[in-house]
Amino acid sequence: KQPLLEVKNLKQYFPIKGGILGRTVNHVKAVDDISFEVYEGETVSIVGESGCGKSTTGRAILRLDEPTSGEVNFDGGNLLSLSKSKMREKRKDLQIIFQDPYASLNPRQTVSQIIDEVLKIQKIGTSSKERRERIISLLETVGIGSHQVDRYPHEFSGGQRQRIGIARALSVNPKLIICDEAVSALDVSIQAQVLNLLKELQRKFQLTYLFISHDLGVVRHISDRIIVMYLGKIVEISDTQSLFENPQHPYTRALLSAIPSMNFEEEKRERIILKGDVPSPIDPPKGCRFHSRCPYKMERCATEEPVLNSVSNGQKVACHLTEKGAVDYTKILVNN
Ligand code: SF4
Ligand code: MG
């Protein structure tokens, strides 16, 4: 089966200008050669700490920032080779929802005007009456009543505004929706409601989600598969259950062990505490990028870069410890 979205060797380097001539003196390697697939109807999450490149990946897929190199194959064609105008048309099929819907909702427009604008740009609906009906039904689908459609964004709560953002994304019948920290600003109880809504909409409209979040608790409830990123690289790709029951990469294990309610092995409640901070993406560590913080680090880790390789259960891991023939390092306790 062909994936709906195939990201291939994607790189996003942002130039750093310096000196009196303002020349490019270096690059922030925000995303550094990552590849993954998303299949139709799936929810795939990208998790990692802030600065790992997860939002940059979402923006690069949509070309909100032009990627440095790589391919983004979507629905049979490479988005990165489309002209600007063809790409604008394609945006019907790929939508994005951000953390703060307020920032992207024009405060001087009513909710129905906001969505009407999108419909007009994408030439959906022939008359204003037809569009109006569509807007009302869309908003009802996300739980905003018809009596509220002529209100302004400030008259709604954060959760309602996110529902409006979702309705706007849905209005063009997308195939893929990228949710970038879409529930991160909401209270926990509201988060659950919005996550449930997203799941319901997925079934109803056969949507595919790429869900970007720093919060493993959130992604656990919504994802079929999870991609873990560290410093611009993918370190692990796994189905959700295997990731939580049997995390393979030392970084994934550290992330999970930091959540008390999510200890993956009861008898090994040992907390893996990472030393130091995430290094700079301007000059990332050689070899394995995680080596400066990895409690299992070996000599070769500082020079040889591990590649993503398949382990059990279809999990993919980039770590020398999980290569064929290696001992099961997860049985070795680390004492920080
Ligand atoms: Fe740790 Fe080495 Fe594995 Fe990197 S490759 S995660 S440094 S053991
Ligand atoms: Mg982000």
Name the residue with the closest Cα to ligand 1, atom 3: 319
Q: Which ligand is nearest to the CA of 301?
A: 1
Asked if 233 and 249 touch (Cβ cutoff 8 Å), the reply is no
Q: How far is the CA of 51 from the centre of ligand 2 (A)?
A: 7
Confidence of residue 332 (pLDDT cuts 50, 70, 90): low
- Residue recorded with tokens 């869309």: 138
Q: Which ligand is nearest to the CA of 212?
A: 2
What is the pairing mode between strands 208-213 and 176-180? Answer: parallel
Asked if 85 and 29 touch (Cβ cutoff 8 Å), the reply is no
Asked if 48 and 258 touch (Cβ cutoff 8 Å), the reply is no
- Residue recorded with tokens 């979702």: 166
Confidence of residue 326 (pLDDT cuts 50, 70, 90): low
Q: Which ligand 1 atom is nearest residue 322's CA? A: 3
Q: How far is the CA of 163 from the centre of ligand 1 (A)?
A: 41
Length of the chain (residues)? 336
Average the pLDDT over 31-54 and give the result. 96
Q: Which ligand is nearest to the CA of 100?
A: 2
Predicted local confidence at residue 266, as pLDDT: 52
Domains and CATH numbers, the chain: 5-93+174-246 (3.40.50.300)
Question: Which H/E stretch holds residue 10?
Answer: strand 5-18
Burial (Cβ within 10 Å: 0-12, 13-18, ≥19) of residue 27: middle
Q: Which ligand 1 atom is nearest residue 288's CA? A: 4
Q: DSSP character for 301?
A: G
Q: How far is the CA of 46 from the centre of ligand 1 (A)?
A: 20
Which pLDDT tens digit goes with each residue over 163-191? Answer: 999 999 999 999 999 999 999 989 999 99
Q: How far is the CA of 261 from the centre of ligand 1 (A)?
A: 26
Ligand 1, CB cutoff 6 Å, lining residues:
250, 288, 290-291, 294, 296-298, 301, 306, 319-321
Which pLDDT tens digit goes with each residue over 96-137? Answer: 999 887 788 899 999 999 999 999 988 888 899 999 999 999
Asked if 321 and 313 touch (Cβ cutoff 8 Å), the reply is no
d(CA 134, CA 115): 10
Q: Which ligand 1 atom is nearest residue 291's CA? A: 7
Name the residue with the closest Cα to ligand 1, atom 8: 297
Which pLDDT tens digit goes with each residue over 278-316? Answer: 899 999 999 999 999 999 999 999 999 999 999 877 899
Strand partners, 31: 12
Q: Which ligand 1 atom is nearest residue 329's CA? A: 8
Q: Which ligand 1 atom is nearest residue 251's CA? A: 6
Confidence of residue 325 (pLDDT cuts 50, 70, 90): low
Name the residue with the closest Cα to ligand 1, atom 5: 319
Question: Which H/E stretch holds residue 8?
Answer: strand 5-18
Packing angle between helix 158-170 and helix 188-205, nearest 10 degrees? Answer: 20
Which pLDDT tens digit goes with each residue over 86-96? Answer: 999 999 999 99
Predicted local confidence at residue 327, as pLDDT: 64
Which pLDDT tens digit goes with each residue over 216-268? Answer: 989 998 999 999 999 999 999 999 999 998 899 999 999 988 776 665 555 45
Q: How far is the CA of 7 from the centre of ligand 1 (A)?
A: 24
d(CA 26, CA 7): 25
Q: Supply 76's token pair.
A: 């049979």
Average the pLDDT over 317-321 and give the result. 95
Q: How far is the CA of 297 from the centre of ligand 2 (A)?
A: 28
Q: Which ligand is nearest to the CA of 323?
A: 1
Predicted local confidence at residue 333, as pLDDT: 57
